[in-house]
Amino acid sequence: MRKPLLTGKQYSRPEFRQLTSHVYEVVNSVARTYIIQDESGHALLIDCGYTSNAPISANPHRFIDHLTPYLKTELGIETVEWFLPSHYHDDHLVGYPALKAQYGTKLASSPELKDILENPHNYDMPCLVPQGVQVDQVIKRGQPFHWRGIDFYVEQHPGQTLYHHLIWFSVDGRKFLCIGDNISGVSFRENRDYIHSFIPKNRTPVSSYWDMPKQILDHAPDFILTGHGGGVLFEKTKIERWQAWMERWQTLFTQMIDQPHPNIGMDPHWIEFYPYKVRITPGETLIFKVIITNYQAKAQIYQLHFLSIEGVNLWPEKTEIAVPANEKCVCQIQATFPEKIETHSLPIVADVTWNGKRLGEIAEAIAYW
C-alpha cells in the first residue's frame, strides 16, 4: 500500500521543563518555546513552536493553540507581554499570532530582521510565515531591552540564516544565551557532538561557520537555549570541539567552491530583487530594486539585462553597475504591467554578465494578481 502524503497526528498537551525558578521550556514544541516569567503572572516568550510537532509532519503553517490554555493552570501566567524571535523561520514564529490574539503580546526585534518579519513576501527565502507580523519595538545593537527587572539583548548575527538573532539575558543568578538553530537538532537526537545545519538557501556566509561557536565561547553562558534540543548546560570542551569542526568545514568549503570568494558560491542571493513577490493590478507601474553584494576585495563590473513576458514594459532594459570592494550597490528597474493579463504570474528576471562572463538569468521577481 502506498504511504499517504499527509498523515494525521494526535496533538498532546504542552510539557513544561523548569530550567531555573523563572525560566521554563516547552519540551514537546517544535521549535522549542522558552518562557521567562515574573512573580506576578507576567511572561515573555522566546520563540513559540508547533505543539507536539503535528503540523510539521502533517500540515505545515497551521498552528492549533494547545499552549495558552495551560500557561495559567500549569505556570500561573496571566498574560504574555512580549515575544522575542530567534529568527524568522515559521516553526519559531508560528505561535505568535495566537499570543497576540489572546494577550495582545508585543514583538521586539533587531533592525536587521524587522522587514523580513513584517513583509516576508519581499524575500525569496525558505520557511517564511504566510503573513507578516508587526514589530512593536526595535532593539539596537548593544541596547538593553528592559522587562520586569531583566535586561535582554537582541542582536542580529549570521547563524543558520543571515536573518538570525542571538538573545542573551541573566536571571536567577544564571546567564542564558539563545542561539536559534545554529546547532542542528540531530546533535541532540543522536547524543553526538554538535554539528551545524547546512542550508545555503538560508544565506549562511562561510565566515559565519567559525563565528557561531566563537560567540558561545565569548559569552560563556550557563545555559544555551537551542532551537531543537532544548536548554543545555554550557560545556566549554564540547563547544571547542564544535569550533574545530566548524573551522575544518569552513576550510573545506573555501577550497571546494570554484569562486574568487566562497560566499559568491554559498549565497544564492548575492544579486536579488526587492521586493521578490508583489501583488499587482492590471496596468500598474512598480519600481523594483536590484541589490548586488560584492564579496571580493576589489571592485566588480556587472551588466544586467532585464526580461519579462510579452506585454510587460521594463525600463531600463539594460544597465551596467560598478560595485566597490566588499560593498553593496542598488539599482532600480521600472515595470509597467499590461491592462489585460493572460497569466497569473508575471516574472521579471535579470540576465547577469559579471566581468565579461555571462552567468545567465540568476535573479528574479514575481508579480501576480
**Percentage, residues of the chain above pLDDT 90:** 83
Residues of the chain with CATH 2.60.40.10: 270-368
Global pTM reads 0.93
pLDDT beyond 70 at 212: yes
CATH 3.60.15.10 maps onto the chain at 16-255
SS3 360: strand
Residue 3 has pLDDT above 80, yes or no: no
Dihedral in degrees, nearest 10, Cα atoms 340, 342, 344, 345 = -90
User: Contact 347/258 with Cβ under 8 angstroms?
Assistant: no
Instruction: Quickly count helices (H) and strands (E) in the chain.
Output: 9, 24
Amino acid at 110: S
What pLDDT sits at residue 54? 52
Residue 242 CB partners (closer than 8 Å, separation 6+): 183, 193, 194, 195, 213
Burial category of 335 from C-beta neighbours within 10 Å (exposed 0-12, middle 13-18, buried 19 and up)? buried
Per-residue pLDDT of 280-291, as tens digits, reads: 999 999 999 999
Q: Which residues of 83-92 are buried (b: 16+ CB within 10 A; e: fewer)?
A: bbbbbbbbbb
pLDDT (0 to 100) of residue 152 = 99
Helix residue ranges per DSSP H, the chain: 54-57, 68-75, 90-93, 96-103, 111-118, 186-189, 208-219, 236-256, 262-266
Cell triple for residue 300?
566588480
Q: What is the mean pLDDT of the chain?
A: 93
Residue 198, pLDDT score: 82
16-255 sits in which CATH class? alpha beta
Instruction: Give the tens place of pLDDT for each residue, 117-158.
Output: 999 999 999 999 989 999 999 999 999 999 999 999 999 999
pLDDT > 70 in the chain, percent: 94
Fold of 270-368: Immunoglobulin-like (2.60.40)
